[in-house]
Amino acid sequence: MLIESFLDYLRYERNYSERTILAYGEDLCQVRNYVQEEGGEFNPAEVKSEQIRGWIVSLIDLGYTSTSVNRKLSSLRSFYRYLLKQGEVEVNPLRKIAGPKNKKPLPVFLKESDMNKLLDDTDFGEGFIGCRDHLIIEMFYATGMRLSELIGLNDSDVDFSASLLKVTGKRNKQRLIPFGDELRDAMLAYINIRNEEVLERSGAFFIRENGQRLYRTLVYDLVKRNLSKVVALKKKSPHVLRHTFATMMLNNDAELGAVKELLGHASLSATEIYTHTTFEELKKVYKQAHPRA
* Residues tagged active-site: 146, 170, 239, 242, 265, 274
| Helix segments in 124-237, DSSP class H | 127-143, 147-151, 181-197, 216-227
* Displacement of CA 238 from its chain's centroid (Å): 11
Round the CA-based radius of gyration of the chain to a whole number and report it: 27
Nearest to 164 by CA among 147, 148, 183, 137: 183
**Could you give the count of Cα atoms lying within 13 Å of 61 in the half-sphere of its Cβ?**
6
Q: What is the DSSP letter of 207?
A: B
* Displacement of CA 210 from its chain's centroid (Å): 32
Specify which residues 204 forms β-bridges with: 154
**Distance from C-alpha of 219 to C-alpha of 234, rounded to nearest angstrom:** 18
Amino acid at site 89: V
